[in-house]
Structures are given as C-alpha cells and as structure tokens.
Amino acid sequence: MRKRNNTMRLTFFFLTLSILSSAYLQAQQKLRYNAPASEWVEALPIGNGRMGAMIFGGDSVEEIQFNEETLWTGEPRNYNKAGAYQYLDTIRLLLEEGKQREAEELAMREFMGLKSETEDNTLWLERVGAERKKTDGAYTYEFDDVGWPTIPVPSYEGWEEMGLEGVDGAIWFRTTFTLTAADLTSDWELDLNRVRQDDYTYVNGHLVGHEKGDQEKRLYNIPKENLREGKNVVAVQVINLAGKGGISGYKDTRNPIGLKNANGKFISLVGQWKYWIQDADVPKVGVFQASYQPFGSLKFQFPDGDTEQYERSLDLERGVAEVAYTQADVQYKRTYFANYPDNVIAIRLAADKPGQISFALSMETKHQKHRVWKLDDHTLAMTVQVKGGALEGTSFLTVKLDGGTVTEQDRQLHVQGANTADVYLTGATNYGDYKQLTADYGRKAQRHHKRIRKKSFSKLQRTHERDYRSLFERFSINLGGEEQRAIPTDERLRRFVSAEDPDLIALYIQFGRYLQIASAREGTHPANLQGIWNPWLEPSWGSKYTTNINLEMNYWATEMLNLRELHGSLFQMIRELSEAGKETAREYYGARGWVLHHNTDVWRGTAPINNSNHGIWPTGGAWLVTHLWEYYLFNQDKKVIAEYYDIIKGATLFFKDFLVKDEKTGWLVSTPSNSPENGGLVKGPTMDHQIIRALFHVFTESSKLVGKDASLRDSIQAMLPQIAPNQIGQYGQLQEWLEDVDDPDNKHRHVSHLWGLHPGNEINMDDTPKMVEAAKKSLIMRGDDGTGWSLAWKINFWARLKDAQHTYTMIKMLLRPADKAGGSYPNLFDAHPPFQIDGNFGGAAGIGEMLVQSHTSFVDILPALPRELSRGTVRGIKARGNFEIDLTWENHQLTAIAVRSNAGKPLKLRYNGKVVEMPTKKKKTYTFDTALNLLK
C-alpha cells in the first residue's frame, strides 16, 4: 500500500513539474520575424480594447497604424421602418405558396431597414455625364492623358486598395492595346467582368457598353469597324457613389481582363492604366449600417544605415511587441504595448550607446477632414472628422526624452541625440453611446493625456504587464516541438503545410487568447469583424458585427480558455441590442420582446439590412442570449442570470409570438427567415429551430433559477416539442431546410444547419447518434475547404464528432499561408480573405475542443487528440460546472490530471471509455491517475 501511495505522489509531482516547465516555456512563446512588415497583414497587433495599433517595425521608416474603438461612420438614428409588420403575413403566404422570388421582392421593397439620408444625385450625374458629350472628352481617341497618374487595374477589392481610399465619385480610366492588320478581320469582345458600380466603356471613342451595379458582368462586343491597326484606346468612366469603386475584374486573378476574338486570340489589359478623378464631391448615398474606421498613423523617419541582426517580435506572455537591430555597431531596441488601465499606447526607443536616438515623427490620417497642430514642444494633436458622419476623434502624441533635444517643425516632432525616447499616444471620440454624442469629449481627452504623460514608461509597462498577465497566465499549453521557436513565424507557417510543428498549434491558441484580451475588455465594445484593428476607410462588410456567426464565434473560446471577464463587453452590447430591438420586434413582427437580425453596428441597428435573400434572419438575438447561459454554465454564477433575466425573457417572448404553425406538418416554424446567406428567403430553416429550442431551454432553466414566470415557463415547455425537429434527408444528411432540397454538390462556406452540433449541443454522440451521423454526412457533402472562419468552424465540428485526424486536417488548412482561399496571413491573422478575426477565435476554440469537451453531461478528456500531438501539457482549461483542469499526456496517453472544483458541483469525468462520477467540494482540487482513479 505504501508503494502505491509513493507512486501516486510521484505521479502528482511529475504533473506539477511538467506544469511548471510548461509555464517556463510559455514565456518564450513569441511571434518572430527577421524583416519589417511590408504590408498590413504582416504587421504585429497590440491593443487594450479601446485603442489598437499595428506595428510595422521599419528600420528607416516606421509606421504605427492605430484605431480607436468608437470611430465609426453614421450617427444615432432610427433604423426601423414603421409598420413593416403589415407585409409580414403576405410574405409568409408567398413563401407558403412556393413563390420565393415574389416574397423576396416584396420584402426588399417593404420589409428592410431604413437607410441613412440619401441626397438627389440627378444634377451631379448630369454634370459628370457632360464629359461624355464633349467632342474632345476623356473618352475620345485623341484625348491627351499624358499628365494623368497611373493605377493598377483591375482591383477586385476596389480602387481603395490601390491608393484611392475615401474616394467616391466619377473617375476615368484609359489604357491602350495594339492590333495587327490580320486582327481587324473579325469583331472582338471586351471582358472587364465586374465594375463597382456603373460604367460607360469606350473603345477608340465609340461607346461599346454601359451597365449599372457591381453584380453585372461586363462583356462588350467591339465591331471590327471601330478598331485600328496599331494603337487602340480603351476609356472607361466609372461612377461610384458609395463603397468600393473601380474596375474589379475577377476575384481569381488567374482570369485576366482583356479582349478576345473569334479565333481565340487574347490580349490582356491587366496592368497600369491612366486615371483622372473627374469629380469626388458626390451627393450622400444612404446605407443600412455604419462602418468601423481607421484613426491614423504615426510615421517615424530614422537616419539611414546598414541594418544587421534584425528581429521583430510579439511576446504573448507579456503582451509586448519589440523591434531590435544593429546599425554601425549600435544596438537599437523599440518596445511597444497598449496599456488598458491607463488607456495609452506607449513606445520606447532605446540604444546600447548614449545619444543615438534621432528621428522625425508625424501624425497622419486617411480622413480628408483633419487637423494636426502643436500643443507644446513635446506634443502634437490631431483631430479627424469622419466623412458624412457625426463622429470626430482627437488623438494626442507626446515624446519624453532622456537626453537630446526635441523641436516641432511643420507639424513634425524632431528628436536629436537622445539616450531614450518615450512616445505616448492617446485618443478619444465624441461617441457617447448608441443614442447620443458627447459634446465636451475633447477637453476630457486632453486632461487624460496630461495625466498619462506624467507617468514614467517603466511604470506604465509594469501596470500593463501586471494587468495583462492577470488574464493571460491563467492558461498555458505545451505541445512539444519547442525547437521550432527559433524559426521566424512566417517561415513556420509555410513549412506547416508539409511538416509537423505542434508548437505552432500551441502558439496559435495562445495568439487567439492574446487577440481577445487586446480586442475588448470590460467597459469597451466587443470585438468586431476585425477585432479592434482596421486600416481601411471602406473595410469589407463595414468591419462591423455580423451576428449570423461571426460575432458569436469571436467569443467561443472565452470561457473554455479562462477569460471570463472578456464576455462583459459582449453582454453590454446584448443589453443595448435588447433595448434597440424592441422597436424592431414591434414594427416588423407586431411581437413582444426584442429581435436582432444578421448584422449590427456601433449604433445598435437591429432591423434587416442589405438584401431580403439573406438579411431577414431573426435569430441573431436568440443566439447571443445563449452566451449568457454559457457564461453561467462555465462559472455557475446565478447573479448574471438574475441581471440579464429580463433580456432572456424578452428574446423568448419574441419567438413565442413569432413562431407560426406550418399547415403541411403541423409544426411550429420560423418564417420568414433564411439559412444564413444560403438558399434565399424561406420558411423553417433548420438552424433557426435549433437556436430557438436552445433559447427556450435557457429561458426555462433561467426562470427556475430566479423563481419567476412559472406560467410562461409552462407555456414555453408546451411549445418546445411542437417546433420543427431536425430531419434526415434523402442523402442521409441533416436537412438544412424544412423540405429535403439539399444539394450534395453545394460547397457553401456556411454550414448553419449544424449549429445543433456546435456551438449548440442537442446533436451529440451520447444522446443522438443517428443525428450525429446525419450531421457528419452534411459536413462531408459541404467539403473541407472554405473561408478562414468556415475552416475554424469545421475544426469545432470535427472535434465534436471526435474524429481527431479530420480535426487535425482542418487545423492544417486553417494554418496554411493565405492566398485566394482561407488560411492565415504572415502575422497569423485569419484570412477570409480578407482579414477577419473570427477565424482566429474559432480556431482557438476548436483546438481547445480537441483537448476538453463538456457540452454533454460528461467532461471528456482528450476526446479528439490527433496522432501528431503525441505529448503535451495544458494548465487552466475550463469545463462547464466551473471546473478548472490541468492535464498531461505522453505517447498519446493521459499521464496525469488535476481538476479544481470552483463551485462544488458534481463531476462526471470521462477518458478513453472510463467514467468517474463523484460529488466535489468548492475550491478543492482532485487529482487522478491514468485510469481516473482518485489520488488521495
């Protein structure tokens, strides 16, 4: 017996030793690069939830592009169309009769949200159209365009990516091509594919085509009579009133724009075109929702020199970015961090020899309306005004020196001969909340900056690291392969396609945790589509909050990876959306409670937007409510349910009123709706019913916890079994819709009907094996590939299916270098493409699901561990029931596990077919051997 006890003690000792070793190695986990960033998706992110910055790390020119979380387009306004509910029954009837197109057309006219103000553009269009009527206009063959600048064409993501950011209006493009006499024997066809948004296209002064809208394909016939031997001229007037502009061409750049004839000859027109901005003073164009905006950039200009031993890094343990290099035997080092308690971005420039720090520093912005001015010899200020919106922002920049001098000249700070230079950046906007602006924000922002500049850099860094570590250090992971850490991260990413690097997987999950801490904190807004980082005035999808998966995915890992406080900013948004969504529920559905559709923004719009074929999706609010319940399950904190109970009840009341009886089946169904972004407007999508059942369960249990609304609870319980169930279709698949119409060749990025598998739990291997097989069939039909966030979701699906090797396959796909498909950029940002942060968070959650699952009655240990992760140590991963788990494994077998019961709930632990079920005491830790025998 004594020998057995000694063995147990040794097991626990080695577990503790392994955990300590893991914590030590964790301090070395960094993103590393041996060259400065040449583009934004190579730069390193820092953030404090309010401000975010991207560090390029240049040795001669350094850029730090920064954001402030509340700088958006738009203004407080009503997004709801009054009386839209009058058309609800007709839309439902049309869908019932199979008239989807008519239903979508009616909904597009009468059931969408209100856009912002639109000005009459008739006179403006006449003015820019006059150029097309001139005998010597820009469309003519002889027109002199020698003085015009050039721009790359095409640009699928808009001319904004080619340097014309913030430009809307009329722009002329011109290029030439050459034909031989033999080429003039037949007509030619010009293929520009897509243009954003309207075009008038000429060849040699002849109009060959005119289309409206960026969805129309531009294929224009050119009669041979209009062509010339030798030089020919293409001239295109592009009219873009809002959003992205330009000649888009093809997303797949292997398909060039150009000309072809009947004989198959092709002439590419890809290249540098001449352009002229004819008129950029466009009338206002209404938009459904607002867009997140960049604030500005800091630009450092350093003396030129030959750089050696360059390294750029992001230390995930400390939340600090660094740049180090040597020039002329001087070692330079820069340190960057975003401090949350003091709300400041701080930078230190240092050298190993005195008097070596010299640079010029300026503040820049892409906003046309801005002002930069000197506050004092050490401080610049910049105010920006968002185009066409109500928001402005002011940032302050101070340089503090040890030795040397600083002077201001032409709105630049010039530092000469300093030992060290500390740079402090703060910023704020006049955003008050989603209903109002703050008039006196500028004075408050300046007072804040004055307080910050009095603090030493070392004190700010200590405060930052203490705050950051209090969150980050709760969880650690070591999967082996530490020798790879000396290799630059971008090179590791390239190698990972064909080689194994388990430590890169550990780095990725910790990078996800880092991004969540940096994106949003208590008292800030939640992470949007790009967290808190965005360089574009016209970001993709507005860089806002897409609530048919992307916002929720941002918070899948929060509880499991031990960051409970970070849910707070999302919960505050849910509260605000529940307030705004009451009017939407009333005006669109004549219903009680509140509703949210598939997108929202900083002004908390809740009405349907964009297009009726995907924008009318009423379950966004219900999905968000499940995050409140997940928080409770993980933390066993009844106070949060009591605090948000009325919001849970409101979402439930909406669906009590919204669900209708389907005449064919007798089931209660959700209509009108859609299976997100796939299949158009329908009745009864599977995802809706899964989410509504989950919501009704949340309400039922919440009402029991708080002891309220017993009669309402009973009525909801009676409705639950009447909701349309999950169905297995003709291919053995889980049906996506009420009817069995799934296409086995559909490779759509959304796999929405598997919501009940993940993040829901009604489809699971313990209780619903037949539905699990149907879900697996659907997943196989949909295919592995997809956008970045879609790959991340599939990691979680396959982990829940406990298929370890398929889960690993999806991780490999997510961690492939981004190209035209989803993957990861050199800085490990997720590629939709373009960048969306949800894939980072979803991928981190999926890696966690491989190691611990607790969505059923069991806490499963290593349920989807692939062969390639044969050894590892994890500390601080959480399971529902408020259990905190440390575990180690070797040769693919569990070697030790410790479970801390923070709430004293019963524990049902499962590993490799063995189950231990036991009561626990609050705050007590239980250790087990490899067979789950309890160690005393």
Q: Is residue 779 part of a domain?
A: no
Residue 887: per-residue pLDDT? 97
Q: Is residue 757 part of a domain?
A: no
Q: Is residue 352 part of a domain?
A: yes
Residue 1: per-residue pLDDT? 43
Contacts of 436 (CB under 8 A, 6+ apart): 76
> By C-alpha distance, which of 791, 778, 784 is closest to 743?
778
Pairing of strands 307-315, 320-327: antiparallel
Specify whether the CB–CB gap between 932 and 909 falls below 8 A.
Answer: yes
Residue 819: per-residue pLDDT? 84
Alpha-carbon gap, residue 119 to 110, rounded angstroms: 20
Query: How many alpha carbons fall within 13 Å on the CB side of residue 488?
Result: 14
Residue 154: count other Cβ atoms within 10 Å of its Cβ.
25
Q: Which of 239, 257, 279 is the last residue of a domain?
A: 279
790-821 pLDDT tens trace? 999 999 999 999 999 999 999 999 999 998 78
Q: Are residues 904 and 821 in the same domain?
A: yes
Q: What is the extent of the structural domain holding 14?
A: 1-33+496-519+784-936
Element (H, E) at 373: strand 369-376
Q: Are residues 462 and 316 in the same domain?
A: yes
Residue 251: per-residue pLDDT? 87
161-206 pLDDT tens trace? 898 988 999 999 999 999 999 999 999 999 999 999 999 999 999 9
Q: Is residue 778 part of a domain?
A: no
Under DSSP, the state recorded for 725 is: P
Helix orientation angle between 567-589 and 638-658, rounded to the nearest 10 degrees: 20
Question: What's the CA angle centered on 631, arms 580 and 465, to 5 degrees?
Answer: 100
Q: Are residues 275 and 183 in the same domain?
A: yes
Residue 120: per-residue pLDDT? 95
Q: Are residues 126 and 260 in the same domain?
A: yes
693-741 pLDDT tens trace? 999 999 999 999 999 999 999 999 999 999 999 999 999 999 999 999 9
Q: Is the pLDDT of residue 88 over 90?
A: yes
Q: Is the pLDDT of residue 25 over 80?
A: no
> Average pLDDT, stretch 429-435?
97
Q: Is the pLDDT of residue 23 over 70?
A: no
889-922 pLDDT tens trace? 999 999 999 999 999 999 999 999 999 999 999 9
Residue 820: per-residue pLDDT? 79
Q: Is residue 824 part of a domain?
A: yes
Q: Is residue 683 part of a domain?
A: yes
Place of tokens 């009423």: 618
Q: Is the pLDDT of residue 6 over 70?
A: no
Q: Which residue has the higher pLDDT, 896 or 24?
A: 896
Q: Are residues 242 and 330 in the same domain?
A: no
Stretch among 243-247, 396-400, 747-751, 825-829 having the lowest mean pLDDT: 747-751
Indicate the pTM of the whole model.
0.93
Q: Are residues 299 and 367 in the same domain?
A: yes
Specify whether the CB–CB gap between 750 and 675 falls below 8 A.
Answer: yes
Terminal Cα distance for the chain, rounded: 13
How far apart, in Å, are the Cα atoms of 449 and each of 463, 464, 612? Answer: 17, 17, 46
Q: Are residues 575 and 663 in the same domain?
A: yes
Structural domain count, the chain:
4
Specify whether the CB–CB gap between 202 and 208 falls below 8 A.
Answer: yes
Q: What is the CATH number of the domain that holds 879?
A: 2.60.40.1180
DSSP 27-64: TT-EEEESS--SSGGGSEEEE-SSEEEEE---SSEEEE
Q: Are residues 589 and 691 in the same domain?
A: yes
| 3 state SS of 585 | helix
Q: What is the CATH number of the domain that holds 52?
A: 2.70.98.50
Q: Are residues 652 and 702 in the same domain?
A: yes
> Cα dihedral sign for 242, 243, 248, 250?
negative
Q: Is residue 768 part of a domain?
A: no
Residue 699: per-residue pLDDT? 98
Q: Are residues 581 and 507 in the same domain?
A: no
Q: Is 298 left (phi over 0), alpha (psi -120 to 50) or beta?
A: beta
Alpha-carbon gap, residue 554 to 558, rounded angstroms: 8
Specify whether the CB–CB gap between 281 and 169 falls below 8 A.
Answer: yes
589-627 pLDDT tens trace? 999 999 999 999 999 999 999 999 999 999 999 999 999
Query: How many alpha carbons fall within 13 Å on the CB side of residue 138?
Result: 25
Alpha-carbon gap, residue 476 to 208, rounded angstroms: 63
Q: Are residues 638 and 578 in the same domain?
A: yes
> By C-alpha distance, which of 674, 571, 584 is closest to 626?
571
Alpha-carbon gap, residue 683 to 699, rounded angstroms: 24
Question: How does the average pLDDT of the chain come out, rounded?
Answer: 95
97-144 pLDDT tens trace? 999 999 999 999 999 999 999 999 999 999 999 999 999 999 999 999
Residue 10: per-residue pLDDT? 38
Q: Is residue 774 part of a domain?
A: no
Q: Which of 223, 244, 279 is the last residue of a domain?
A: 279
DSSP 414-426: EEEEESEEEEEEE
Q: Are residues 407 and 315 in the same domain?
A: yes
Alpha-carbon gap, residue 619 to 183, rounded angstroms: 58
Using a 10 angstrom Cβ sphere, with 0-12 exposed, 13-18 middle and 19 or more buried, the burial of residue 308 is exposed
How far apart, in Å, are the Cα atoms of 114 and each of 286, 291, 609? Answer: 9, 16, 8
Position 9 confidence tier, pLDDT thresholds 50, 70, 90: very low
Q: Which of 674, 705, 725 is the last residue of a domain?
A: 725
What type of residue is 103? A
Q: What is the dihedral of CA 760, 762, 768, 769, to 10 degrees?
A: 0
Q: What is the CATH number of the domain that holds 709?
A: 1.50.10.10
Q: Is 728 left (phi over 0), alpha (psi -120 to 50) or beta?
A: beta
> Average pLDDT, stretch 492-507?
96
> Which tokens in the block code for residue 546?
């897409």
> Average pLDDT, stretch 266-291?
96
Element (H, E) at 649: helix 638-658
Specify whether the CB–CB gap between 311 and 304 falls below 8 A.
Answer: no
* Pure H helices in 282-435: none
